[in-house]
Amino acid sequence: MTTKEVVQSIVIHGFLGYLWVLFITHIVNVANSMDYMIARSLLILAGTLLFWSIVNRITPFHSYKFTHPAKIAGIISFVLVVLLQVFGLTIV
């Protein structure tokens, strides 16, 4: 593990966190235009699962264990970006 891997993980997962906020905002807006609550929740669930599967395939860190320092740093940056977008500053 190098510092480069940790920094790369932080940058990639931070960007993916921002992308997830944009994606989920769009999915929720589309789901709110539907009349049926079950269809809304299925659409939101399907969108989140689709995003998760794409992220797991494109990040170079998918082969690391959950306890790998680069993966932990990436997860922390993802969560921080999402929390800042949802509760803090609104860049979107």
pLDDT score at 90: 58
Instruction: Give the confidence band of 80 by pLDDT, cuts at 50, 70, 90.
Output: very high
What's the domain count of the chain?
1
Q: Is 48 part of any domain?
A: yes
Convert the pLDDT of each residue in 2-58 to its tens digit: 888 888 888 988 898 898 888 888 888 887 887 788 888 888 888 888 888 887 777
Q: What tokens appear for 33 in the block?
A: 């235009």
Q: Is 28 part of any domain?
A: yes
Domain containing residue 26: 3-87
**Cβ neighbours of residue 60 closer than 8 Å, sequence gap 6 or more:** 8, 12
pLDDT score at 23: 85
Q: Is 92 part of any domain?
A: no
Q: Is 70 part of any domain?
A: yes
